[in-house]
Amino acid sequence: MPQYSDIDRLAIRTVRVLSVDQVASANSGHPGAPLGLAPAAHVVWKQLRLNPSNPNWINRDRFVLSNGHACALLYSLLHLTGYDFTLDDLKHFRQLNSKTPGHPEYGLPGIELTTGPLGQGISNAVGLAIAQANFAATYNKPNFTISDSYTFAFLGDGCLQEGVSSEACSLAGHLQLGNLIAIYDDNQISIDGDTAVSFTEDVLKRYEAYGWEVLTVEKGDDDLDSFSEALEKAKANKEKPTLIKVKTIIGYGSLQQGTGAVHGTALKPDDVKQLKKKFGFDPEKSFVVPQEVYDLFKRDITDPGKKLNEEWDRLFEQYQKDYPDLGKELARRLNGDLPPNWDEKLPTYKPTDSALATRKLSQAVLEKINFELPELIGGSADLTPSTLTRWEHAIDFQPPSTGLGDYSGRYIRYGVREHGMGAIMNGIAAFGANYRPFGGTFLNFVSYGAGAVRLAALSGYPVIWVATHDSIGLGEDGPTHQPIETLTHFRALPNIQVWRPADGNEVSAAYKMSIESKHTPSIIALTRQNVPQLEGSSITKACKGGYIIHDVEDPDVILVSTGSEVSLCVETAKKLAESVTNKRKVRVVSLPDFHTFNRQSKEYQLSMLPDGVPILSVEVAATLGWGNYSHAHFGIDRFGVSCKGTGAFKFFDFVPEGLAKRVEKVIEFYEGRKLYSPLNRPPL
């Protein structure tokens, strides 16, 4: 057990003062939690295995600040440990385009995850721990411990109250993730004041019920030894994740310590001064770090970490010799590369191939690529037989003792926990090693995980939501399960792909684009019901996000559509071309992903949806959003109905006759008008 010296205590005071200085310089931020958590953070960091000169070393320990508002603490530690965070960076806390934004952002050196939205970080940490367990089970060999890192997460009352953390932590208990250690800052204060106003549950008992080991440190403000002891105990327990409750005083050292006033507001100048004095610092100086503290961090953290990394490098060198195949695969993954020509495994289809539900076609993709891509790890939120996300002979990711699988398994039984699944996928992706996590649920219930989807997009985690039952076509389950707003919702999110493939080739394209994305998550919306294989679809074309799937010369109208409605459009177009009484020339554009299409050249876009022709969107979902692409919109701006899927399509008139009627109306309405494509607009 480590002993703590006066220099350790000086280091803790330094972190406290440095954190207060950051918040004071911005006159914005959260001083309370850094002041309370500095001792625990010091003890945790002193035993972290990390190498600031190689922040992505795969066998580093992960540190997650789930209470991301305490980021001044993290920035202080990153600076002291030698990450690329200068004192000057700290001085620009919460300034435009600084390295020290209001909440930690993934991609900055040493920052493992974007945190701040409460409940996410701890749930991401479960994902990190799953990834580590899978990674170790896949690559460790006798005498070759490629991976044995821990995940440490700090979290506060807010994170514990959020349901997403309940979901993820219940699963973590089930999965017996002994590599996960969560440190709960029990400071009794949240924004509304004393936690007694709303949060009086017995947290430790709850976590025990989840199957966690639970420990308490009574004096988190100064009893370093007790905390260190708890930490060692937690690390020694390889069968259970551990929650260590640390009782702290929020804003320790401030005149307002122990009150809500120190949570989210900079300390007053006088308060800062007395605090510095109390902690032995010059009250007139800011951003001061005693050299002994730098030396301590170097000696106890940075240098040993660097050494461990070097040892690991040698180990991996030998590993590649002793296990050439695995070594090659691992080197590829660590390099962030996909196997060359992996996409040749993607199935392609001819129009004569059977009509199939796109969820079935998705299953066919997973069957083909799972062996090729060991980085593919996924599951379903208790909808495996519906989302069809499990390949044959998949091994479940389960504690070996359950007899249900083992940690090398790549199929995760998430339970009915969509938000937890989303956050866990984010954590798996953030682990590195090229992991491509996917998770299945109904499209409508991706919304339960909206908070995690947003963070995937913001952070750039390449996760894949396999979102089946994507429309009224799901039928009898009815309006509670039929998405209307969902596609528009996620299409409005930056840095995401929202694929709604029309047939098998488009499904393959959606997977190709999703798996090849390094920094963009995807949602793949899939039908429950069968769709035909279309003439004119191809992986290459679909990879542009939009393309002409059925063309005519000099069209009277252009239909632009996605997913299951594309075949309806093509069928209607063909009928209208042959109609005796009502002949019409109809082009059909398939637009499986708005975001990918938006990235194409304006020229390409306008060649699909040009000036001069009325453009009609056709999608069994909200029309909002289509105005950016089409003049008129055939959609559903109400909730769905409970009956057979074909009945629902008929009810909303999404049948060839119904669509033909709209085509006619649109042509008549715009007759004689000179129309401009909605895409023909100025870039602003």
- Which residues from 409-468 bind its own copies, rule CB under 8 A? 413-420, 444-445, 447-448, 450-451, 454-455, 457-458
Least distance from its own copies to the Cβ atom of residue 487, Å: 8
User: Does residue 191 touch its own copies according to CB under 8 A?
Assistant: yes
Interacting positions 590-609 with its own copies (CB under 8 A): 594
User: Does residue 676 touch its own copies according to CB under 8 A?
Assistant: yes
Interacting positions 131-160 with its own copies (CB under 8 A): 157-159
Rounded-to-integer distance, Cα 522 and Cα 531, Å = 22
Is 528 known to sit in a ligand binding site? yes
Question: Which region, judged by CB under 8 A, interacts with its own copies, from 22-30, 270-278, 307-315, 345-353?
Answer: 22-30
Rounded-to-integer distance, Cα 39 and Cα 4, Å = 11
Among 385, 580, 601, 672, binds its own copies (CB under 8 A): 385
Rounded-to-integer distance, Cα 441 and Cα 417, Å = 10
Among 3, 97, 581, 601, binds its own copies (CB under 8 A): 97
First to last CA, the chain: 61
Is 336 known to sit in a ligand binding site? no
Task: With CA atoms as reference, report the closest residue to 539 among 376, 336, 337, 345.
Answer: 345
Report residue 256 as tokens.
């307002």
Task: With CA atoms as reference, report the closest residue to 617 among 469, 433, 488, 467.
Answer: 488
**SS3 call for 220:** coil
Rounded-to-integer distance, Cα 130 and Cα 209, Å = 20
Rounded-to-integer distance, Cα 623 and Cα 128, Å = 39
Least distance from its own copies to the Cβ atom of residue 449, Å: 9
Among 58, 164, 433, 559, binds its own copies (CB under 8 A): 164
Rounded-to-integer distance, Cα 258 and Cα 33, Å = 10
Among 209, 236, 331, 577, binds its own copies (CB under 8 A): 209
Least distance from its own copies to the Cβ atom of residue 90, Å: 14
Q: Is the dihedral of CA 160, 166, 169, 174 positive or negative?
A: positive
User: Does residue 130 touch its own copies according to CB under 8 A?
Assistant: no
User: Does residue 584 touch its own copies according to CB under 8 A?
Assistant: no
Among 162, 221, 271, 470, binds its own copies (CB under 8 A): 162
User: Does residue 210 touch its own copies according to CB under 8 A?
Assistant: yes
Is 77 known to sit in a ligand binding site? no
Interacting positions 245-304 with its own copies (CB under 8 A): 260
Residues 48/29, Cβ–Cβ less than 8 Å = no
Is 460 known to sit in a ligand binding site? no
Is 395 known to sit in a ligand binding site? no
Among 1, 6, 197, 581, binds its own copies (CB under 8 A): 197
Is 263 known to sit in a ligand binding site? yes
Residues 135/59, Cβ–Cβ less than 8 Å = no
Least distance from its own copies to the Cβ atom of residue 30, Å: 10
Rounded-to-integer distance, Cα 569 and Cα 297, Å = 65
Rounded-to-integer distance, Cα 359 and Cα 169, Å = 29
Phi/psi for 548 (5° steps) reads: -80, 120
Is 157 known to sit in a ligand binding site? yes
Query: So which residues are the catalytic ones?
Result: 418
Among 91, 647, 655, 656, binds its own copies (CB under 8 A): 647
**SS3 call for 418:** helix
Among 19, 76, 81, 114, binds its own copies (CB under 8 A): 114
Question: Which region, judged by CB under 8 A, interacts with its own copies, from 246-254, 317-325, 520-528, 673-681?
Answer: 673-681
User: Does residue 166 touch its own copies according to CB under 8 A?
Assistant: yes
User: Does residue 629 touch its own copies according to CB under 8 A?
Assistant: yes
Rounded-to-integer distance, Cα 81 and Cα 306, Å = 11
Rounded-to-integer distance, Cα 268 and Cα 20, Å = 10
Question: Which region, judged by CB under 8 A, interacts with its own copies, from 81-89, 199-207, 327-335, 360-368?
Answer: 199-207
Among 87, 492, 577, 606, binds its own copies (CB under 8 A): 492
Count of chain residues binding its own copies (CB under 8 A): 133
Phi-psi category of residue 236: left, alpha or beta, with phi > 0 → left and psi -120 to 50 → alpha? alpha
**Residue 262: CB atoms within 10 Å:** 29
User: Does residue 675 touch its own copies according to CB under 8 A?
Assistant: yes
Identify the DSSP state of 85.
-
User: Does residue 22 touch its own copies according to CB under 8 A?
Assistant: no
Question: Which region, judged by CB under 8 A, interacts with its own copies, from 76-84, 230-238, 544-552, 636-644?
Answer: 636-644
Interacting positions 36-75 with its own copies (CB under 8 A): 68
Among 31, 32, 82, 173, binds its own copies (CB under 8 A): 173
Rounded-to-integer distance, Cα 128 and Cα 364, Å = 28
Q: Is the dihedral of CA 270, 272, 277, 278 positive or negative?
A: positive
Identify the DSSP state of 449.
G
The residue (of 10 and 203) whose beta carbon lies closer to its own copies is 203
> Binding site for Mg(2+): which residues?
157, 187, 189
